[in-house]
Structure 1
């Protein structure tokens, strides 16, 4: 992903990692509700950070896992 990952992007990536998201018919569902940012899901899919799964929860790609891990604060 060329652009900086936003706080909202990180929150959605954490939700995907927790198994709380589905990507259905171009719509990202979080806890069964459509994400308020209609462009966020498709943007994360196109960036290669999440992968939709037919009939199952969305999942992080290796790039998505790396982006999420890089955003976590490190212990001193």
Structure 2
């Protein structure tokens, strides 16, 4: 986690939208220490948030591969919990 980023900090609407898209199978990520994300085959406009989702463990690659490879992104159990907590709060 980078300095100034708190694990319990609320997710932005954009981060939640990215998680929802990943949950429907529309997201891919590039395998690296700071994975970039793609949605519907297009690069995400907010890679900072993509990195945040990965650092917090909310998304993960569907399978291992080599650095630089693009793979399907999965929402982790922590990501599902984050989505459910927002839904329950609404």
What TM-score does the superposition give when structure 1 sets the normalisation length? 0.86
1:45 aligns with 2:60: no
Query: Which residue in the other structure is 2:67 paired with?
Result: none
Equivalences, count: 75
Alignment map for 1:10-29 (pairs within 5 Å): 10-25=16-31, 26-29=35-38
Distance 1:3 1:33, change over 3 A: same
Distance 1:74 1:40, change over 3 A: closer
Q: What are the ranges of 5 or more consecutive residues in structure 2 without an aligned counterpart?
A: 1-6, 64-69
**C-alpha RMSD over aligned residues:** 1.8
Q: What are the ranges of 5 or more consecutive residues in structure 1 without an aligned counterpart?
A: none
What TM-score does the superposition give when structure 2 sets the normalisation length? 0.74
Runs of 4 or more above 3 Å deviation: none
The SS at the match of 1:29 is strand
